Amino acid sequence: MALRIPTLAEISTVKHSYRFQYLINQTICDKIFTKLQLDKTYPNNLKDLKVLDLYPGPAVQSAVFNNRFTPKQHLLMESRKSFAEFQDRYLIPYDNSNHLTMIRKDPYDWSSFTDLIDKEKKFQPEVQSRNHIHNEFLIMGNVTEKKYEGLIIQWLNCLGYKNWLMKFGNVKMLLWLPTQTAVKLLALPGTKHRNKCSLYLEAFANTNIVALSHSEHIKDFDKKLIEKSSPVLIDNSDAIFPINSKDAITLLEINPKDHAIDVDTWDYVTKQLMILRGTPLLDAVESLGHGAREYYLEKLTDKSLMERCPATFTYDEFLYIIKLFKAWPFKPDIYLELYDIKIDEFRN
Amino acid sequence: MLRYRQVVSSCQQANRQFHSVLSLRQLSSAPSSIDSTTIANTPLSATSAVSNQVPLFFNNPRNKSNLGTSFSGSSSSSAFALRNDPFTNSQSLVASKMTEQRDIMQLWSLLEACLQTNNFPRSFSILKSLYEIKSHRKQNFIEDYNLYLDARAQNMTNIRQLEKLLEDDLTLFFPLVNYNDKSLAILIHHAIRLVPDLDKLRSHIKTYFKMGNDNYKGIVSYLDILTVSDYKRLYFELKMISDKDIPYSIREVAITVDSNENVVPESLNNSSLLATSSDATGKTLFDEEIKSLSKDVTQLRDVDTIGMKVVKHTLLGLTLNDVQRDQLSNFITPEMQTTTDQSANIDFYQIYKQLKTSKQKQDFELMLNEFNQERQRALELRATDAAKERWKHDFEEAKARGDISIQKSLNAKLWEWYTDMLPLVKEEIAHVHDKQLLKNTDFANYLKLVNPEKMCVITILELLKLNSTGGIMEGMRTARAVISVGKAIEMEFRSEQLLKTESRIFKEVNKKSNEFKKYIRNAKNAFRSMKIERSKIVWPQAVRARIGSVLISKLIKVAKVRVEGTDPVTKEVIVGKAPAFSHSYQYHNGVKLGIIKIHKSLVNQLNGERLAASVQPQLLPMLVKPRAWRNWKSGGYFYSQSLLVRAKDCPEQLAYLEAASNSNAIDKVYDGLNVLGNTAWTVNRKVFDVVSQVWNSGKDFLDIPGIQDKVELIPRPANSADPGEINLWKQRNREMVNKYSANRSMRCDSNYKLEIARAFLGEKFYFPHNLDFRGRAYPLSPHFNHLGNDMSRGLLVFWKGKRLGPEGLKWLKIHLSNLFGVDKVPLDERVAFTESNLDKIRDSAEHPLDGEGWWKQADEPWQALATCFELNEALKLETPEDYFSHQPVHQDGTCNGLQHYAALGGDIEGAQQVNLLPGPKPNDVYLHVANVVKRRLQKILETKDDPVAKFFVEKLNRKIVKQTVMTHVYGVTMVGATLQIDKQIGSYFENKKDSLFYSQYLAKHVFAAIKESFHGAHLIQNWLGECCKRISKSVRLDVDQNSFKNGNKPDFMTSIIWTTPLGLPIVQPYREIQKKQVQTNLQTVYISDPFAVNQINARRQKAGFPPNFIHSLDASHMLLSASKCAEDGLDFASVHDSYWTHACDVEIMSKNLREQFIKLHEVDLIERLKEEFDERYKNYVQVVKVPRSNPIVQEILTLREELSQKLGRPAKLSDEIYMERTRQRLLNSEDPEKVEEGKTMTTTISVTMGNEEALENLDNLSSRNNGGANIFVPLRLPAIPPKDNFDVHDVKDSIYFFS
């Protein structure tokens, strides 16, 4: 064992959790890693693996992972004072075999990554082709504060654009997030929570639910998804830090897909249509641009689409709508739409 | 008839009472008689149902010798306040009254609509509903019934029929209501119409007079029912009334037999031409010839604006008739350049200026006024017709030239939309009744009030005008669009109604000689004022929204633009049509917003002229003197209603205003405001020529941004670029787009101002004014006025010229010096500044654009240029003093807010710094504060090495602190001040963080320096803040339990209310916003409910109070000065704390404004405010949070515990209020036993009552501690801070007070 796992008593000394939640039960961590069967993705028993661990917090999961797999490089990116001090004090390596580094940068800033990789060159994964999940690079992260939902969405956006860490290939992400967010991200067509982001995730990744706290929330997910993933349920009252947290959190395994989608157009069309997710396409479609209704009425081969609402459309149906949009001679300039709102005037 | 007489006699009793009320009302002032009956029921006074919510100072300033005494009314007013039992009206009663009022308003508005559309069955059932509302039945119902009666009567052919209708309705359906004099007036009017036999008619009328309780005078006072010809018959033929019985305003018209009757041919009468309804061809107004009329200046670029054309057309299209032309030619001498041929290019101003004698000038102005009366009317009423005609004209022209022209001409396109839209709207109206059955709404009636042609035009104009509003760059918010269109339709309806009744009343009297027309004009003016004052009905928001949405959805359906695109596959260019407007949604900050987008190609065609498209001809400068303010809702434009105070969604303020107005307490306000409205202006042609030349170059010039056709965006980085880079790209482009759009709207704004100026070249015009809620005056015409930017001000001069004289010449020179920022030196040095630059002045005037351009260096370049022109002309004369100057010369206060504060606080040092004390040269308060700061910093440096202090000791100047000092009075926060300073010093630093750090450091010292110099003022500012804090946290004892959230958290409803020295009640309108959901054709929109009274917004109440209070004082000072100056024969204008007059009159004006300042501050205004607050908030309790350990808190908690035990549950704050209320009720009872019982009671609130020591103690504790228990204590305001020794009378000799 190369890393000492911090104890509950030690973790209790952390002053601020910054409204994040962390799994601190070693046994459950092990159960999760067993379930994940990471060795199937990462050959050589994960010995060649480089791991970027974002917002690791008390780092129990990081320590368990490190001890179990001893990856080639394991980098904890953490800038929050309480957790940084905690890691410095309690995450004591017994020997040098763990290849663990702690970087005091904030994963919130894009520059933390460019500095680390491009400037300081402290973390250099190999670029791999997109026909498989990257087999030497794994991202772990915890974004369980509700207000950080925007950050999660921005990270996921990078799946489509193939930038940020995804420029190295299709990199698997193990991401803790609020269950509420996970429910939205995994909503299926025609369900209540279906939205632009779930559509997005469906388009650009295969996702599994790995674990979740407050097991009663399992019903918030679609049954089919739960059956497919059969997640680890965490109900021990002291398994999650801070103890007795009320809000549920979920661990997702996100495996990016290869794609040839024009993401800007995809983004524009899904955004415009999902604003009116509950309105029949016949009425909603005009928000794609002046005259869109007439155009789609003429071009759509499956006229029944016009009567259905965007929230019920599958990924393939959207692909079809987007294909028609691209062929529309009078389509608006989607980039100009980006700047349409003057924020300051809006406050009035 | 027998039965009828029975009804009569049975009603006698009630009538007697009614009549005594009526005659009382007539004594006060006739026009407001209707209002006074409605007071008790207006939405407004419903809020003020609580005793304190009536202005306390009811004194009529006119009856008092000076203002000082007018303030001493608090003792009598307290008697007034006590007359109402404080416990009879609780918060919930207020709420229910508001709801009732909302119901009545909806019924009224619907009744009006149904009567207009002759939907009598529905009208009758609405009457039944109104009758069911008890409070309404008593007071107002008969007025509603009269409306119905009059409408029914229009279709009747027999007077008996009408009598029977009245009899049956009142006996069978509305037995608890009596007819009134107006009902009888209706009977008389129709009897005159229906009974040809003179004797029979006389007999009918005699009966009606008798029914009026032998007092027929009341009956014949209804001049909105009885027409001029009715009066003529009653007087001449029937001899049943004397001339004195005819309302004064039309008496002359009614009893004068015009000798020229029928001599003047109809064709010469403009008013009849204009009064024709819109379906008349109107050819005379819009024929070809008129199109070529121009004001003879370089055509401005971008003139293809929709709205402006309408205006210009209306203004120019009114040609002089032969008589007028003859009259005009009397004034024109051969040497005058102007020609009157074809009425083109008449520059009234030039003619006027060249007239020699004052008699000539007087005659000329009389003639012009006559002429302008008609033009003003056309301007306000003919806008939509003119627009439509214009479109049609351009369409036909474009059609003749071919298809491409139609695409290019915006007007032609608008005509196409109009013609396509019209049948859809007509169809909607035809079928709306069928739909209505399904939806069960009464909406259909409203859709028939304005003719469909007009509705189409209004919809098109409104939508174009709304482009780029609400933060949507190429479109608008749906909610705003539907309401705007609905409101515009409503406004049109109102104006039409007014015109219609006016025409009816004056039907017979239009064909008269010119001399006689003057009488008619006066009579009409009086009539209009009366009608507008009486209008009380507003359409419900939901109706506006629905009308708007129906019309907009039709327009969306038909309005198309031509689009060009490339087929992505074949790469062929494809031409097609796309909807010009489309309805969609956007997310903003997580909120889904409905928007109406305008197609890009149309936006481009509007060519950045959204403002230009938004011209509302009704809101332009007026060609004649505005209707004088005599009443809180009557003044300003001819055919549209403006309120004295712009109190948007604040029913409370309106209630106070109405009460103050009805008791004649604010006549001084009207006086001052009328002075501002009566100042005649014209456009400075020389400046206009320079501006238009610059404009047409399309280049950047001073404040005017150059033409920029489109924004060049940075191309998108590759998809794989780092997200940080992509974000940066977005941010940069967004900045560029915002900058572009800011410039564009700035250019539009200038364009718009210029267009109006151009339309008014050579005209004499006026700016009607009203007030904001603090009492500050603003012109009602929003775009081009003297409150605008430097360019607007440079474009305006007084119509009247006055000989400079030696003093005037001096002041003109000082004015120029001031405009160059040389305003902090003694007057003779300013004169010297100008005199040392005479060459440059000449060069600027003679070569404004091709010379040295010295004028451009001025702080206010356009105004400086105007002054250069004026000086140059004067100096050309042998004796420049003889020059007749039109240039307004300004006198500005030295940081006027601080002047008032210094006077309030009695600060000697402060008073000196803001020039309240006489001195050899003006003091510069900003320099003073900068020096104080410097001294403080130097002191720091003596003890330690502080790099920040060192930096500022070297760099600090007046400019760095100026803005912060100026805005300190208006409550700028530390953050705000830091940013202001950062703006000034930012360039010294590379890193923004450093700059902000330094700025914050300095801001603290600036605040401290102001506090040091204006100590008394500072204490007062704090006192105002503290008062506000406590009042915002207070509740009335009669508050209802229902208005406590969970019983423990009261809704704080108390606004800060005060009365200005002129008697104007001010209510801070800051409340939480509550919106109502309305379903429309397009989408569901959320609209604020004008009848809702919500919780106050404590933060805004507090932040707003000190500055608002000071503004209410500076506004009072301005209005007082305005009245005095007018008394002295001066022309007067103001921009808040900058007062303007002719150069030769500056000394008189200055003397007046010093005297008025003294008059204002002779009274201890703060003491007065405290008295007013003490009176108004007398029975209030305040919530404080105090530590439990305090003995008196312990006592309260024990009492609370006991109360809980009694109740068998934890006592809530609402229970405590209830207990105290019970105690007080017992104490106030007439039963001695109950009084005794009350005396034995102790409640959690009574414990502290009268215990000053304990309360003092709690005050101290509550200010320091955040934790503890919430308790109620009686609301007490802190003691007034001590005043320093400055004597305001010293202002009398301070020549630099304003300079």
- CB proximity list for B474: less than 8 A, separation 6 or greater: A340, B467, B468, B597, B598, B599, B600, B603
Is B322 an annotated catalytic residue? Answer: no
**Which residues of chain B have a CB within 8 Å of the CB of A330?**
563, 565, 574, 576, 578
One domain for residues A142 and A242: yes
Q: Which of B749, B1137, B1145, B1284 is catalytic?
A: B1137
Answer whether residue B264 shows pLDDT above 60: no
Mean pLDDT score, B204-227: 84
Chain B interface, mutation test: which of A105, A165, A283, A290, most B Cβ atoms within 10 Å? A290
Angstrom CA distances, A297 to A266, A290, B584, B657, stand at 20, 13, 17, 57
Answer whether residue A256 shows pLDDT above 90: yes
**Residue B273: per-residue pLDDT:** 33
Under the banding of pLDDT at 50, 70 and 90, the label for residue B1073 is confident
Give A29→chain B minimum CA distance, Å: 32
**Residue B20: per-residue pLDDT:** 31
Of A327, A342, A346, Cβ closest to residue B568: A327
Under the banding of pLDDT at 50, 70 and 90, the label for residue B607 is low
**Residue A307: per-residue pLDDT:** 94
Share above pLDDT 70 across residues of chain B, in percent, rounded to a whole number? 81
We report the CATH number of the domain holding residue A343 as: 1.10.8.100
Answer whether residue B286 shows pLDDT above 70: no
- pTM for the model: 0.80
Highest average pLDDT, of B36-45, B127-136, B400-409, comes from B127-136
**Which residues of chain B have a CB within 8 Å of the CB of A272?**
584
**Which residues of chain B have a CB within 8 Å of the CB of A265?**
none
Domain enclosing residue A312, as ranges: 263-347
Q: How many Cα atoms sit within 13 Å of B507 on the Cβ side?
A: 12
**Which residues of chain A have a CB within 8 Å of the CB of B714?**
none
Give A207→chain B minimum CA distance, Å: 23
Answer whether residue B152 shows pLDDT above 80: yes
Q: Which of B97, B182, B962, B1159 is catalytic?
A: B962
One domain for residues A210 and A75: yes
Q: Among A119-133, B516-530, B693-707, which stretch is predicted with the lowest mean pLDDT?
A: B516-530
Residue A1 belongs to a domain: no
One domain for residues A197 and A316: no
pLDDT tens figures, B948-992: 999 999 999 999 999 999 998 888 889 999 999 999 998 899 878
Answer whether residue B778 shows pLDDT above 90: yes
Q: Does B277 touch chain A (CB under 8 A)?
A: no
Give B597→chain A minimum CA distance, Å: 8
Answer whether residue B83 shows pLDDT above 70: no
Taking CB atoms and an 8 Å limit, are B578 and A327 in contact across chains?
A: no
> Of B622, B635, B450, B620, which is closest to residue B532 (Cα–Cα)?
B635
Residue A239 belongs to a domain: yes
Answer whether residue B263 shows pLDDT above 80: no
Which of A256, A283, A318 finishes a domain?
A256
Q: Which of B304, B892, B1089, B1290 is catalytic?
A: B892
Answer whether residue A305 shows pLDDT above 80: yes
Domains in chain A, number? 2
Under the banding of pLDDT at 50, 70 and 90, the label for residue B1120 is very high
pLDDT tens figures, B994-1035: 899 999 999 999 999 999 888 888 899 999 999 999 999 888
Q: How many Cα atoms sit within 13 Å of B745 on the Cβ side?
A: 14
Whole-number CA gyration radius for chain B: 34
Under the banding of pLDDT at 50, 70 and 90, the label for residue B1263 is low
**Which residues of chain B have a CB within 8 Å of the CB of A153?**
none
One domain for residues A232 and A157: yes
One domain for residues A209 and A109: yes
**Which residues of chain B have a CB within 8 Å of the CB of A329?**
565-568, 574, 576
* Residue of higher predicted confidence among B745 and B162: B162
B positions 592-621 inside 8 Å of A (CB): 592, 597, 599-600
Taking CB atoms and an 8 Å limit, are A286 and B719 in contact across chains?
A: no
Taking CB atoms and an 8 Å limit, are B586 and A341 in contact across chains?
A: yes
Mean pLDDT score, B523-545: 77
Answer whether residue B5 shows pLDDT above 70: no
**Residue B504: per-residue pLDDT:** 78
**Residue B413: per-residue pLDDT:** 86
Residue A2 belongs to a domain: no
Taking CB atoms and an 8 Å limit, are B727 and A157 in contact across chains?
A: no
Taking CB atoms and an 8 Å limit, are B583 and A272 in contact across chains?
A: no
**Which residues of chain A have a CB within 8 Å of the CB of B585?**
275-276, 287
Give B682→chain A minimum CA distance, Å: 34
Of B588, B713, B727, Cβ closest to residue A341: B588
Mean pLDDT score, B31-41: 29
Give B44→chain A minimum CA distance, Å: 26
Residue A37 belongs to a domain: yes
Under the banding of pLDDT at 50, 70 and 90, the label for residue A92 is confident
Taking CB atoms and an 8 Å limit, are A330 and B723 in contact across chains?
A: no
Q: Among B518-532, B560-574, B663-677, which stretch is predicted with the lowest mean pLDDT?
A: B518-532
Is B892 an annotated catalytic residue? Answer: yes
Rounded Cα distance, A145 and A177, in Å: 7
One domain for residues A170 and A219: yes
Q: Does B579 touch chain A (CB under 8 A)?
A: yes
Q: Could you tell me how many CB contacts below 8 A there are between chain A and chain B?
A: 115
One domain for residues A192 and A227: yes
Answer whether residue B64 shows pLDDT above 60: no
Rounded Cα distance, B84 and B707, in Å: 64
Rounded Cα distance, B387 and B384, in Å: 5
Chain A interface, mutation test: which of B584, B587, B605, B1100, most A Cβ atoms within 10 Å? B584
One domain for residues A269 and A145: no
**Which residues of chain A have a CB within 8 Å of the CB of B719?**
161-163, 263-264
Residue A160 belongs to a domain: yes
Rounded Cα distance, A41 and A239, in Å: 28
**Residue A339: per-residue pLDDT:** 60
B positions 741-770 inside 8 Å of A (CB): 741
**Residue B735: per-residue pLDDT:** 83
Q: Does B724 touch chain A (CB under 8 A)?
A: yes
**Residue A119: per-residue pLDDT:** 94
Answer whether residue B824 shows pLDDT above 50: yes
Answer whether residue B485 shows pLDDT above 80: yes
**Residue B514: per-residue pLDDT:** 59
Which of A234, A256, A278 finishes a domain?
A256
What is B677-730 written as a DSSP string? HT-EEEE-HHHHHHHHHHHHHTS-BTTBPPP--S--PPPPPPTTS-HHHHHHHH
Under the banding of pLDDT at 50, 70 and 90, the label for residue B293 is very low
**Residue B303: per-residue pLDDT:** 36
Q: Does B733 touch chain A (CB under 8 A)?
A: yes
**Which residues of chain B have a CB within 8 Å of the CB of A113?**
722
Residue A163 belongs to a domain: yes
Mean pLDDT score, B232-258: 82
Is residue A163 within 8 Å of B720, Cβ to Cβ?
Answer: yes
Under the banding of pLDDT at 50, 70 and 90, the label for residue B629 is very high
Answer whether residue A324 shows pLDDT above 60: yes
Q: Amino acid identity of B417?
A: W
Answer whether residue B1273 shows pLDDT above 60: yes
One domain for residues A192 and A286: no
* Residue of higher predicted confidence among A229 and B343: A229
**Residue B579: per-residue pLDDT:** 93
Answer whether residue B1251 shows pLDDT above 60: yes
Q: Does B1056 touch chain A (CB under 8 A)?
A: no
Nearest CA in chain A to B602: A290
Mean pLDDT score, B1051-1066: 90
Under the banding of pLDDT at 50, 70 and 90, the label for residue B755 is confident
One domain for residues A277 and A199: no
**Which residues of chain B have a CB within 8 Å of the CB of A263?**
719
Taking CB atoms and an 8 Å limit, are B582 and A289 in contact across chains?
A: yes
Taking CB atoms and an 8 Å limit, are B579 and A290 in contact across chains?
A: yes
Peptide bond into A242 cis (omega under 30): yes
**Which residues of chain B have a CB within 8 Å of the CB of A345?**
470-471
Convert A77-107 to b/e letters by CB count within 10 Å (16 or more is b): bbebebbeebbeebbeeeeeebbbebbebeb
B positions 822-861 inside 8 Å of A (CB): none
Of B724, B730, B738, Cβ closest to residue A110: B724
One domain for residues A150 and A232: yes
What is B508-575 written as a DSSP string? GGSS--HHHHHHHHHHHHHHHHHHHHH------HHHHHHHHHHHHHHHHHH-EEEEEEE-TTT--EEE
**Residue B1087: per-residue pLDDT:** 76
pLDDT tens figures, A192-220: 999 999 999 999 999 999 999 999 999 99
Share above pLDDT 70 across residues of chain A, in percent, rounded to a whole number? 95
Mean pLDDT score, B141-157: 91
**Residue B924: per-residue pLDDT:** 93
Angle, to 10 degrees, between the axis of helix B861-876 and the axis of helix B805-819? 150
* Residue of higher predicted confidence among B345 and B213: B213
Give A156→chain B minimum CA distance, Å: 11
**Residue B409: per-residue pLDDT:** 76
At B50 the three-state DSSP class reads coil
Under the banding of pLDDT at 50, 70 and 90, the label for residue B85 is very low
Share above pLDDT 90 across residues of chain B, in percent, rounded to a whole number? 38
Is B1137 an annotated catalytic residue? Answer: yes
Which of A191, A221, A256 finishes a domain?
A256
* Residue of higher predicted confidence among B309 and A272: A272
Q: Does B3 touch chain A (CB under 8 A)?
A: no
Residue A305 belongs to a domain: yes
One domain for residues A252 and A268: no
Highest average pLDDT, of A32-46, A332-346, B78-92, B494-508, comes from A32-46
Rounded Cα distance, B430 and B427, in Å: 5
Answer whether residue A178 shows pLDDT above 90: yes
β-pair type (A205-213, A232-234) = parallel
Mean residue pLDDT across chain B: 80
Nearest CA in chain A to B590: A275
Answer whether residue B449 shows pLDDT above 70: yes
**Residue B591: per-residue pLDDT:** 77
Answer whether residue A100 shows pLDDT above 60: yes
- CB proximity list for B604: less than 8 A, separation 6 or greater: none
Answer whether residue B87 shows pLDDT above 60: no
We report the CATH number of the domain holding residue A86 as: 3.40.50.150
**Residue B1132: per-residue pLDDT:** 97
Residue A3 belongs to a domain: no
